[in-house]
A and B are shown apart, each in its own frame.
Chain A
Amino acid sequence: MSEPSVLDVPGIGLGPASQVPVGEGRLFEVGSRTVAVFRLRDGGFRATDPWCPHRGGPLADGLVGAGTVTCPFHGYRFDLSSGCAVGHDCPPIATYPVSLDAAGELRLHVEGVLRD
């Protein structure tokens, strides 16, 4: 999912992964930012910017499949790993490395990144 070097950053604890229903996304507030975290059916997690660059649709409320999320507003799709638009030319969304630690807690590896 991401470079080992990034995961070496201890990251910010987001609490138990079970807060996000399987196959869906939810928002987390990290510092002054809001991040959408998705829990994929294959057991993986992804984190992105929360709002669709098209017209602000809530991506966490979108449909997830094959590593992409489809915005609920007008159906634009984004790749959850790269953030790139799929099949259209919207600008990409930012993505963040996220992992599950041994205790079942989500960790967002963004120290320094989100502090603005």
Chain B
Amino acid sequence: MKQTPRVVVIGNGMAGARFVEELVRRRGEVQPDVVMFGDEPYGNYNRILLSGVLAGTHQPEDVFLNPLAWYHEHDVTLHAGARVTRIDREARRVYAGGDLSVPYDQLIIATGSVPFIPPIDGLRGPSGALADGAFVFRTLDDCHEIVRHAKQSRRAAVIGGGLLGLEAARGLLELGLDVHVVHLMPHLMDVQLDRPAGRVLELALTQMGVHLHLEKATSGVLGDGRVAGLRFSDGSTLDCDLVVVAAGIRPNVALAAQAGLDVGRGVIVGDDLATSDPHVFAIGECSEHRGQTYGLVAPLWEQARVLAERLAGVSPDATYEGSRVSTKLKVMEVDLAVMGVKEADPDLDEVVTYAEPSRGLYKKLIVRDGRLAGAIVMGDGTIVPTLLQAFDRGTTLPDDRSQLLFPRTAGDGQAPSVQSIAAATQVCNCNGVTKQQLVDAVRNGCRTLKAVCSATRAATGCGSCATLVQAVVEDAAGGSLDVDPAAHYYVPGVPMAKTELVAAIREHELRSVSAVFTALAGGREDAGSKPGLASLLKSMWGAAYEDERDARYINDRVHANIQKDRTFSVVPRIYGGVTSAAELRRIADVADKYQVPMVKITGGQRIDLLGIRKEQLPHVWKDLGMPSGHAYTKGFRTCKTCVGTEFCRYGVGDSTGLGVAIERRFQGIEAPAKLKLATAGCPRNCSEATTKDIGAVAIEGGRWEIYVGGAAGSRVRKGDLLVTVDTHDEVMRLTGRFMQYYREHGRYLERTYDFVERLGLDHVRAVVVDDAEGIAADLDRAMQESVDAYVDPWLEADTPVHPAQFVDVVGAGAGPAPIATTMEAVR
């Protein structure tokens, strides 16, 4: 057996402790022995909740993350209250005073920051200690001392009007003190906010009773060793008996510098998070990566995860590539979210703003190339999840930007704010999940949105509640959610994004779903990933795809939709919704012969026979003598039409002819998700073509507008005008090309309304219409191959792939499953 490596961590703060948690969770192959040193005499606690402790809204015991017992349970040795004083890199050993010294194989420096103390006369006494009544605000002990001193104080001054200073001000206000904030710059929180936003915040704070002193430089502390007031560079003074210094932080690099590691503003690390010594790593506020230091927790958590993956041997090549910083904060009860750039570049950017200072509202979007480059949102938490998503994913924004600033839920007016939703309110209407259940899941330890959703089943139905669920979960987690790496996988069971996966499948020539699991998922087959892989493989290999029927969802095994009583529905193809008396007669005969419980006109302009038993399916199909309508496949469904020039007095284009031709050509073509099309004979749009995945609308002059990415299901979205063309042939060609591009680049189950938004209309148009990437001919060819390879699945009525394809009960004495009685048995 290999020797157990020893990992030593200096610093038991947010980054160090998170790293150890992540490492312990991943212990597998490599089982390192973990030793931690923490200067503070506690297990680890959530530093960002200290403002709550100061304000009295949290008890100190509420903020602990891992108590001392946790370390014991997980075989982590914690030296709490032990400060590391020296690193001997040659001997690979750390020293912590007295006899305490420990050898390491890998050393992690996570020493955080130290408060910056500006050179102010009288702030420090001769010993270097702060004057009596002056404090910094960084640790739990700092909180205790401020609270103790506040009991005998009346007026407090906070030096520094940044995030930390305002948090301190809020706490002091709650403690009943008269609070003054002294800030060097012309507006508050100048690091995060632009000037108008700063103004809105200032108004809100003034209304709460905070006194602001802007553009004031503190030059001295009055009083003789005991704080009695402040003196400013303009000669004025302010009486006070308590001072909190919140003038910024500096990465805590002393130990690293002393050990001879490369240090800039922070301890310099590469994408592997290693310092200039490959045995020593640095994470958290003390580190500097690609010239950047961070002062918020989200980036630190990413660093902790990446490093844990590397050191646990799970993915030794994992890299950290920097973080796009976005923050959601509560500043003095005001909701604030900040992401990306703060000021616009006048040459590049479009700026959208809305300000209503009297209600504490300020919203600003900075748009570059149609995408969100930055945003400041104050006083309105409801629009934040959507913006964060658009920012993180870099999706193109809707042309009507006001939708982002003032979203409306379908039906009524304003979207509810997350906090204002009552606990018992049902958030997910498909699975009946209440807000309380989501909050409980977070409290019980779910750390990712996905974990909450799989524990509660929220947002796993139609998905229309996803944004709201995300907002509730984020609110409940108070900014401590993990980003789920699986969110970027094509299917959950194979850890690869789509492009990577496609490349690996090509490289290893994997033609079946089981071959993919064997080669790319360590042999572990994941049921939920099967249909997605099957769809991908089929669109990649066409006729050379090795079809494994067990990889298909039941509907695609028997080419029908399963119903709640375990019967199936049969929807024959009716091209463009145009039928004939003979066809209708056959359908009627089948309905009689099989005593079909319901015959229904669908929303897709065709006819549904509902309540057919599985073993009846092949017989029904044969009697119908019509091809499958594919009402079940993730793929081309229908092309709805209107009567157009055939009969309609307004028609300016032959929409039925075009629709029928489209449906004949693309029937059954598989795709990442459903494709529903329509053609309309004039802009009156009776077939709803502008809210279809692809829609063609005839306009005067014999031309056709092609719309893509429309939707009118769980989400309603008007399609984007892709291009206007002159002929049916051009409509057919561009329709096929767009579909093929979507087949190759869409994520599994991603409808075109999300796909087009993710890629941006301009990009889609460049590829599909202008052939900017030179792939148009390839796309057309690939589509033609799929069209040529199409076989009506209902022909399996005569040639089933397995004798039991349409049989439920097999074995001796088998008969049809007694449906009614067994459903009873279940209830």
Stretch at the interface among B12-20, B76-84, B804-812: B804-812
Give A69 to B530 CA distance when docked, in angstroms.
Answer: 12
Give A58 to B555 CA distance when docked, in angstroms.
Answer: 12
Contact A51 B825 (CB under 8 A): yes
Asked if A20 is an interface residue, CB under 8 A from chain B, the answer is yes
Q: Contact check: which of B457, B550, B812, B825 meets A41 at CB < 8 Å?
A: B550
- Smallest CB separation, B311 vs chain A (Å): 27
Asked if A83 is an interface residue, CB under 8 A from chain B, the answer is no
Asked if A7 is an interface residue, CB under 8 A from chain B, the answer is no
- Smallest CB separation, B428 vs chain A (Å): 13
- Interface of chain B residues 446 through 487 with chain A (CB within 8 A): 454-455, 457, 460
**Which residues in A have their C-beta under 8 angstroms from that of B550?**
21-24, 41, 63-64
**Which residues in B have their C-beta under 8 angstroms from that of A51?**
822, 825-826
- Smallest CB separation, A67 vs chain B (Å): 9
Contact A56 B808 (CB under 8 A): no
**Which residues in A have their C-beta under 8 angstroms from that of B460?**
75
Asked if B423 is an interface residue, CB under 8 A from chain A, the answer is no
Contact A20 B810 (CB under 8 A): yes
Stretch at the interface among B156-164, B238-246, B276-284, B520-528: B520-528
- Which bracket fits the contact residues of B? 35 or more
0/1 interface trace, chain B 516-550, chain A, CB 8 Å (1 if under): 00000000111111110000000000000000111
Contact A34 B809 (CB under 8 A): yes
Q: Contact check: which of B809, B812, B826 meets A56 at CB < 8 Å?
A: B826
**Which residues in B have their C-beta under 8 angstroms from that of A77?**
527
Contact B814 A23 (CB under 8 A): no
Given A60-B808, A70-B528: A23 and B549 interface contact (C-beta under 8 Å): yes
**Which residues in B have their C-beta under 8 angstroms from that of A21?**
549-550, 802, 804-805
Contact A65 B554 (CB under 8 A): no
Give A40 to B822 CA distance when docked, in angstroms.
Answer: 25
0/1 interface trace, chain A 1-39, chain B, CB 8 Å (1 if under): 000000000000011000111111011110000100000
Given A34-B822, A41-B514: A23 and B811 interface contact (C-beta under 8 Å): no
Give A75 to B530 CA distance when docked, in angstroms.
Answer: 13
Contact B527 A64 (CB under 8 A): yes
Asked if A88 is an interface residue, CB under 8 A from chain B, the answer is yes
Give A65 to B524 CA distance when docked, in angstroms.
Answer: 8
Give A97 to B815 CA distance when docked, in angstroms.
Answer: 24
Contact A56 B802 (CB under 8 A): no
Give A34 to B529 CA distance when docked, in angstroms.
Answer: 29
**Which residues in A have their C-beta under 8 angstroms from that of B455?**
87-88
Give A52 to B524 CA distance when docked, in angstroms.
Answer: 24
Asked if B348 is an interface residue, CB under 8 A from chain A, the answer is no
**Which residues in B have their C-beta under 8 angstroms from that of A27?**
808-810, 817
Contact A58 B808 (CB under 8 A): yes
Contact B527 A65 (CB under 8 A): yes
Give A73 to B526 CA distance when docked, in angstroms.
Answer: 18
Contact A29 B826 (CB under 8 A): no
- Smallest CB separation, A19 vs chain B (Å): 4
Closest to B814 in A: A29
**Which residues in A have their C-beta under 8 angstroms from that of B365?**
none
Give A63 to B550 CA distance when docked, in angstroms.
Answer: 7
Give A64 to B550 CA distance when docked, in angstroms.
Answer: 8
**Which residues in B have their C-beta under 8 angstroms from that of A102?**
none
- Smallest CB separation, B694 vs chain A (Å): 29
Asked if A55 is an interface residue, CB under 8 A from chain B, the answer is yes
Contact A19 B527 (CB under 8 A): no
0/1 interface trace, chain A 41-77, chain B, CB 8 Å (1 if under): 1000000001111011110111111101110110101
Asked if B290 is an interface residue, CB under 8 A from chain A, the answer is no
Given A22-B550, A87-B455: A28 and B566 interface contact (C-beta under 8 Å): no
Given A27-B817, A66-B526: A50 and B822 interface contact (C-beta under 8 Å): yes
**Which residues in B have their C-beta under 8 angstroms from that of A34?**
809, 817, 822
Q: Contact check: which of B454, B562, B812 meets A15 at CB < 8 Å?
A: B812
**Which residues in A have their C-beta under 8 angstroms from that of B812?**
14-15
Q: Contact check: which of A20, A29, A53, A66 meets B804 at CB < 8 Å?
A: A20
Contact B549 A63 (CB under 8 A): no
Give A52 to B566 CA distance when docked, in angstroms.
Answer: 11
- Smallest CB separation, B288 vs chain A (Å): 41
Give A61 to B805 CA distance when docked, in angstroms.
Answer: 11
**Which residues in B have their C-beta under 8 angstroms from that of A61?**
554, 557, 562
Give A20 to B813 CA distance when docked, in angstroms.
Answer: 15
Interface centre among B553, B811, B823 (most CB of A within 10 A): B811
Given A56-B566, A72-B562: A87 and B454 interface contact (C-beta under 8 Å): yes
Give A9 to B809 CA distance when docked, in angstroms.
Answer: 24
Q: Contact check: which of A14, A63, A66, A72 meets B524 at CB < 8 Å?
A: A66
Contact A28 B528 (CB under 8 A): no
Asked if B72 is an interface residue, CB under 8 A from chain A, the answer is no
- Smallest CB separation, A115 vs chain B (Å): 17
Contact A41 B527 (CB under 8 A): no
Give A9 to B493 CA distance when docked, in angstroms.
Answer: 38
Given A21-B804, A72-B554: A56 and B823 interface contact (C-beta under 8 Å): yes
Give A22 to B557 CA distance when docked, in angstroms.
Answer: 13
Give A12 to B648 CA distance when docked, in angstroms.
Answer: 68
Q: Contact check: which of B553, B805, B813, B825 meets A63 at CB < 8 Å?
A: B553
Give A77 to B526 CA distance when docked, in angstroms.
Answer: 11
Give A34 to B564 CA distance when docked, in angstroms.
Answer: 19
Contact A14 B811 (CB under 8 A): yes
Give A57 to B822 CA distance when docked, in angstroms.
Answer: 11
**Which residues in B have their C-beta under 8 angstroms from that of A58?**
554, 562, 566, 808
What are 29 A-B contacts with C-beta separation under 8 Å? A14-B812, A15-B810, A19-B803, A20-B810, A21-B804, A23-B548, A23-B550, A27-B810, A28-B809, A28-B814, A29-B811, A34-B809, A51-B822, A51-B826, A60-B808, A61-B554, A63-B530, A63-B531, A64-B527, A65-B493, A65-B525, A65-B527, A68-B527, A70-B527, A70-B528, A73-B562, A73-B564, A77-B527, A87-B454
**8 more A-B residue pairs beyond the given contacts A63-B530, A66-B526, with a C-beta to C-beta distance below 8 A:** A20-B810, A21-B802, A22-B548, A24-B557, A57-B566, A63-B531, A66-B524, A68-B527
Pairs of residues from A and B, 6 with the lowest C-beta to C-beta distance, nearest first:
A23-B550, A65-B527, A56-B826, A63-B527, A61-B554, A19-B810
